[in-house]
Amino acid sequence: MTPAELALLLSSIALGVAGQFFLKSGALKLGRVEASNAISHVLSILTVPDLLIGLACYGLGAVVYILVLTRVKLSVVGPTVALSYVFSVLLGYFVFKETIPGLRLVGLGLIVAGVILVVWQPK
């Protein structure tokens, strides 16, 4: 994978994580959805800027991902996108003050190790 391809891939991942951040932020502003308020909440999605930004990030991330797929093997790109899980957990911890249990940290370490093994190109 060339540096330009890696930059595209990381941009796609970053846009996906940004989308998750804005969707979570918007969801917190929207409030808890119950059966009694589901329809009004679905309609309210269009009025919460964070949710619209999150959806736009996901859309742009998908376009960038398609560009990556034109240049890099799916067998490399697909597993590498798993890094978004790592960044999402870190975002949850640092921004939304969510806890990270030890077992989850082990899982994140395994994801990072797996991505390294998938991307690694021995010389």
pLDDT at 119 over 80: yes
**Would you state the pLDDT for residue 118?**
87
pLDDT at 123 over 80: no
Mean pLDDT on 80-107: 94
Dihedral of CA 16/28/94/109: which sign?
Answer: negative
Structural tokens at position 114: 């797996």
Percent of all residues in the chain with a pLDDT value above 70, rounded to a whole number = 100
pLDDT at 94 over 90: yes
Q: Which residue has the higher pLDDT, 1 or 97?
A: 97
Confidence band (pLDDT; 50, 70, 90) for 74? very high
**Chain-wide mean pLDDT for the chain?**
92
pLDDT at 38 over 90: no
pLDDT at 69 over 80: yes
**Would you state the pLDDT for residue 36?**
85
CA distances from 34 to 54, 83, 115 (A): 22, 32, 38
Each residue of 1-24: pLDDT tens digit? Answer: 889 999 999 999 999 999 999 999
